[in-house]
Amino acid sequence: MISMQNILERFIRYVKIDTQSDPKNPAFPSTEKQWVLARLLEQELLDLGLSEVHLSEQCYLTATLPSNVDHVVPVVGFVAHIDTSPDFSGNNVNPLIHRNYDGGNIVLNADRQIILDATYFEDIQQYKGQTIITTDGTTLLGADDKAGITEIVSAMEYLINNPEVKHGKIRICFTPDEEVGKGAHQFDVDHFGAHWAYTMDGSQIGELEYENFNAAKATVTVKGINVHPGYAKHKMINAITISQQFINGLPSHEVPELTEGQEGFYHLHNLTGDIEKTTLEYIIRDHDIEKFKERKETMFSLVSSLNKKMGKEIFSIDIEDQYFNMKEKIAPVMHIVNIAAEAMKKENINPIYKAIRGGTDGSQLSFMGLPCPNIFAGGHNFHGKYEYVPLESIEKATKVIINIAEITANKYQ
């Protein structure tokens, strides 16, 4: 029997440690505070009795649960990330526990009138009667991805304490800096030594994902000329206002707030500057590789046409690919997705196959030679004050990990 109380206490212990990453810091990991949780986890894994526990100089924590069967079984890995989003405060997280949720609104902070509205965030209503863990309205919760860490550690603890459950060799890894897109950059696939792995980094219960966006980031620089406004006619070029021509040149409906499913988008997420220089920072996303290429070409062409219109090099652009759709690498080994689906069905969970509108460490790892689908961790409304996770979802994900280990061992007898 998995102890719900142990799972709850473990999760609360993890989320109270601030591990936000920093996209502006080129260091790896990008914040020193990620080491705090990494070292705590290192000691926990040692105390549980896992072998080959190793915390690398880059803050990758790996460990092994040795096989307890006498036949050869492929090595399966499980991966989660230590850091939380830099987009919203992860400092002084104060989780609130709501037992036997009644299906209605949840008051997160009465003083500030912050309410998790069940009609706006309607997914929460499916968890009526369960234990809901929320924020207090002042920080994010950190279920992304400390729920995943909790699930992996809890599953390893269960397998150690219940040797009658047969499994092959299992490798686990907790990575830094996933939220800033660098989580897999220094991952040593050969050292990890798994035949395949799963990231425990999805959202609602049942999610099983092996497709994600192709992704790139684009930086558009607009050069202006500053002249005294009283004498500026036909002389001043205001980079701030001219930049609007680039923004308007892209399809206005192809933005995150107006797209869903496998629809791609251009997302202007930062604009800074002054009259002489303005910078637009975009992310480009599409599941289809050809459409992804077309999106990048659209931005290059727009820069070229605007410069031609202006009669000088006012606009410049730099585009850098970030990650690609892991479906290309997962499709040839679909049995690893089928094993995860079987593990869910064993817990009466209907797998929800979704194309991720984002990316995970798994997308990069798949292209590095480690096929790595993504499994639900249970959380909702990531990266903000309305984040929550049902305790029962964490428990179910823990059981799915255990089932994957057992199913794999049985299939390879």
Q: How wide is the angle at C-alpha 14 spanned by C-alphas 359 and 398, nearest 5°?
A: 65
pLDDT band at 203 (very low <50, low <70, confident <90, very high): very high
pLDDT of residue 191: 95
> Residue 361 pLDDT > 90, yes or no?
no
Helical (H) or strand (E) element with 320: strand 315-323
What's the rounded mean pLDDT across residues 103-117?
96
pLDDT band at 318 (very low <50, low <70, confident <90, very high): very high
Percent of the chain with pLDDT over 70: 100
Phi first, then psi, for residue 166 (nearest 5°) are -85, 140
Q: Is 83 a catalytic residue?
A: yes
Structure tokens at 281: 């920072």
Q: Which residues of 382-407 are buried (b: 16+ CB within 10 A; e: fewer)?
A: bbebbbbbbbbbbbbbbbbbbbbbbb
Cβ contacts of 6 within 8 Å, gap of 6 or more: 154, 157
Q: What is the pLDDT of residues 139-189, one digit of tens each?
A: 999 999 999 999 999 999 999 999 999 999 999 999 999 999 889 999 999
Please tell me what DSSP assigns to residue 179. Answer: G
pLDDT of residue 165: 97
Q: Is the Cα dihedral 25, 27, 29, 34 positive or negative?
A: negative
Q: Specify whether the CB–CB gap between 43 and 62 falls below 8 A.
A: no
What's the rounded mean pLDDT across residues 25-49?
97
Nearest to 141 by CA among 407, 397, 380: 380
How many CB atoms are closer than 10 A to CB 253? Answer: 10
pLDDT band at 357 (very low <50, low <70, confident <90, very high): confident
pLDDT of residue 359: 74
Rg of the chain taking only CA atoms, in angstroms: 23
CATH topology (fold) of 222-323: Alpha-Beta Plaits (3.30.70)
> Residue 197 pLDDT > 80, yes or no?
yes
Strands 170-175, 61-65: parallel, antiparallel or unpaired by DSSP? Answer: antiparallel
| Domain ranges across the chain | 4-212+325-411, 222-323
CA 220 to chain centre: 26
pLDDT of residue 358: 78
> Residue 378 pLDDT > 90, yes or no?
yes
pLDDT band at 356 (very low <50, low <70, confident <90, very high): confident
**DSSP string for 89-145:** --TT---EEE-S--SS-EEEETTTTEEE-TTTSGGGGGGTTS-EEE--SSS---HHH
> Residue 360 pLDDT > 80, yes or no?
no
Helical (H) or strand (E) element with 199: strand 196-202
pLDDT of residue 181: 85
> Residue 309 pLDDT > 80, yes or no?
yes
Percent of the chain with pLDDT over 90: 94
pTM, full prediction: 0.88
Strands 132-134, 388-390: parallel, antiparallel or unpaired by DSSP? Answer: antiparallel
Q: What is the pLDDT of residues 211-236, one digit of tens each?
A: 999 999 999 999 999 999 999 999 99
123 φψ region: left (φ > 0), alpha (ψ -120 to 50), beta (else): alpha
> Residue 355 pLDDT > 90, yes or no?
no
pLDDT band at 194 (very low <50, low <70, confident <90, very high): very high
CA 368 to chain centre: 18
Q: Tell me which CATH code domain 4-212+325-411 carries.
A: 3.40.630.10
Q: Give the separation between CA 394 and CA 244, rounded to whole angstroms.
A: 45
pLDDT of residue 300: 98
pLDDT band at 413 (very low <50, low <70, confident <90, very high): confident
Q: What is the pLDDT of residues 3-32, one digit of tens each?
A: 999 999 999 999 999 999 999 999 999 999
Q: How far are the Cα atoms of 116, 142, 145, 192, 195 from residue 380, in angstroms, in the given order?
A: 12, 10, 11, 30, 30
Q: What is the pLDDT of residues 74-99, one digit of tens each?
A: 999 999 999 999 989 999 999 999 99
Q: Give the separation between CA 20 and CA 27, rounded to whole angstroms.
A: 14
Which position among 178, 179, 211, 387 bears the catalytic label?
A: 178
Q: Is 178 a catalytic residue?
A: yes
Which position among 18, 83, 179, 395 bears the catalytic label?
A: 83
Mean of per-residue pLDDT scores for the chain: 96
pLDDT band at 328 (very low <50, low <70, confident <90, very high): very high
Cβ contacts of 291 within 8 Å, gap of 6 or more: 264
